[in-house]
Amino acid sequence: MIKQHVGLGEKSYDILIGSGILQETGARIAALCGRFKPEDGIAVVTDSLVWGLHGAAFSASMAAAGLGFSPVVLEPGEQNKSLDGLGRLYSDFAAMRLKRGGLVVAFGGGVVGDLGGFAAATWMRGVCYIQVPTTLLAQVDSGVGGKTAIDLKEGKNLAGAFYQPACVLADTNLLATLSGRDFRCGMAEVVKYGAICSKTFFESLRERPGAAELPGIVDMCCGIKSGIVERDELDKGERRLLNFGHTFGHALETLGGFRRFNHGEAVAIGMLLAAETGEKMGLTEPGSAAAIRAVLEIHGFETVCPYPPEEMLPQMEMDKKNEGDQVQLVLIKAPGEAFVHSTDAAELRSLC
């Protein structure tokens, strides 16, 4: 088992990564007693797909540690990361009498993690919670860093809070049951970490990983992300580098009506477009885009943007990370090193 520490003062926590560590969940939760009181209630937020596949193993580990809990099982899908989904959690927390000293466990992908985390952040002004991420995306990205949110009909992630978990438990064995498409979605973020922070790691991704490589990959990504979060918890500077490929990616997700591309597929093409744009600006080493394309193709990503610049640009100008009329683009010098470049619509138009 690999243990990482995220150093955030009194909000510090450990990330535990390994194959088969789901069976230790109960014991790990019991070890957190003191930060919460089991008699105040434990709510396990999950979705029916995850619960059907891995609920029995989770329950067995809780029983072995002598911990009772109330499962809150949602339908899978982003539509539950909503005000309705949040209301459902609050009702269930009230019905089970979850008290201020209780615990919320988010057992699922990024949807369950973001929704369960936001419910924990706001229930009785904040109860202790832990993340047990079950998708590759959640293990390398959403489960770490303390961003929680729900979507509103006006836009994605519009209501949320920075709220750090007390612990993250990432069992890479759970990734074996992911669909190929959901696994690939997480791989886009994995490639992103290499592209922004580590040339060596980026180059190691020229082969598809086997199950034995997954703990090392999750460890590497969590290490990069938690380092950035330690230096910029509230997303005012360096944390923006994690948005490499995302300004273009969000435009692709929106234009595809959030159906044509999943997040990772959109970010994959977005990283390629960012590298190509950087090359045109003379800010990115020639050949970088080709290197990114080659890695993405190995992992089965589409690498052609189906939308013309005149459709992409208006979406990018609306990106919520922009300041005034400046578009904040994350570019790379070469794979392994990223920076933020502030540009405006006119410059972007001239390049596309």
Ligand X SMILES: NC(=O)c1ccc[n+]([C@@H]2O[C@H](COP(=O)([O-])OP(=O)(O)OC[C@H]3O[C@@H](n4cnc5c(N)ncnc54)[C@H](O)[C@@H]3O)[C@@H](O)[C@H]2O)c1
By CB under 6 A, residue 109 contacts ligand X: yes
The residue from 14, 40, 182, 302 that contacts ligand X (CB under 6 A) is 182
Which CB sits closer to ligand X, 145 or 194? 145
Q: Which residues contact 95 (CB under 8 A, 6 or more apart)?
A: none
Q: How far apart are CA 139 and CA 312, in angstroms?
A: 30
By CB under 6 A, residue 192 contacts ligand X: no
CB of 75 to ligand X, least distance (A): 9
How many other C-beta atoms can be found within 10 angstroms of the C-beta atom of residue 304? 7
CB of 130 to ligand X, least distance (A): 15
Pick from 66, 64, 44: nearest CA to 55: 44
CB of 214 to ligand X, least distance (A): 12
Which CB sits closer to ligand X, 127 or 185? 185
State residue 190 phi and psi, 5-degree precision: -60, -45
CB of 186 to ligand X, least distance (A): 7
Pick from 105, 176, 111: nearest CA to 141: 111
DSSP bridge pairs for 262: none
* Contacts to ligand X from residues 227-286, by CB under 6 A: none
Per-residue interface string for the shown chain with ligand X, residues 51-80, x marking contact by CB under 6 A: --x----------------------x-x--
Helix (H, G, I), strand (E, B) or coil at 306: coil
Pair of tokens at residue 157: 């992630």
The answer to whether the CB of 251 falls within 8 A of the CB of 316 is yes
By CB under 6 A, residue 225 contacts ligand X: no
Direct distance between the N- and C-terminal alpha carbons of the chain, in angstroms, rounded to an integer: 47
The residue from 50, 121, 197, 222 that contacts ligand X (CB under 6 A) is 50
By CB under 6 A, residue 119 contacts ligand X: no
CB of 111 to ligand X, least distance (A): 3
Helix (H, G, I), strand (E, B) or coil at 332: strand
The residue from 21, 72, 73, 81 that contacts ligand X (CB under 6 A) is 81
**Residue 2, CB-side half-sphere exposure with 13 Å CA sphere:** 18
- The residues of the shown chain that bind ligand X, judged by CB under 6 A, are 47, 49-50, 53, 76, 78, 81, 108-112, 114, 134-135, 137-138, 141-142, 145, 147, 157, 174, 177-178, 182, 185
